[in-house]
Amino acid sequence: MKKLIFFLYAFLLCFIFCSCTAVTESPTPTELTAEDYEYIDAVYNVMDQWDSTHYDSGENHHIDKISFQDFDGTHKICFYINYPIAGYCGAGYLIEDGTLTGISPDIYDNDSTTRHQGCMMQTVINGTDWDYTATDEEKYETIKNAYIYFLENNIYNYE
């Protein structure tokens, strides 16, 4: 019986010391590089081309979600927007050399179409909320936050 009490006491002491000395790290904010800001600025600078109202079925629809995605795991960063029409309806843009180019997947290429649809669905599910009535400064911060979310949650490891 003494051995059991000693064992429980030793276990309790180990538990107390181990849990008290545990170091919890606070998450460090993501530091953006000059290249990161080039992606953010490329999207922001042509906002008038994609931040628009879509008219469908007698109603005006405004963008509700935005996101950045790695289209195919090859470090081709794309920007996606979503209109809340029938689940997901929107567009994707490839960002290269500071410009946005619309993504039109080849309907005969199932892999490309599937990747595009997957990115659209990820935008609906995990995209950053977009407020079309926000000021330009608020919109810039929203784009920046969407990019930071992409960096922190990208399934492709860049390091």
- DSSP string across 77-121: EEEEEEE-SSS-EEEEEEEETTEEEE----TT-HHHHHHHHHHHH
The SS3 assignment for 129 reads strand
In a domain, 15, yes or no: no
* Mean pLDDT of all residues in 139-152: 94
Paired with 89 in beta bridges are 83
Looking up tokens 């994609």, which residue turns up? 50
Residue 158 lies in a domain: no
- Strand 89-96 and strand 65-70: the pairing is unpaired
Q: Residues of the chain with pLDDT > 90: what percent?
A: 23
Interval 106-118: pLDDT, tens: 655 666 677 777 7
The answer to the question of residue 66 being in a domain is yes
Answer whether residue 29 is part of any domain. no
pLDDT band at 8 (very low <50, low <70, confident <90, very high): low
Domain assignment present for residue 103? The answer is yes
**Cβ 138 vs Cβ 131: under 8 Å:** yes
- What pTM does this model have? 0.73
| 23 within domain boundaries | no
- Which class for 120: exposed (0-12), middle (13-18), buried (19 or more C-beta within 10 A)? buried
* Helices 136-153, 34-45: inter-axial angle, 10-degree rounding: 130
Tell me which residue range forms the domain holding 62: 34-153
How many domains does the chain divide into? 1
3 belongs to a structural domain: no
d(CA 157, CA 148): 14
Question: Is residue 119 domain-resident?
Answer: yes
Cα gap 117→115, rounded to integer Å: 5
Residue 39 has pLDDT above 70, yes or no: yes
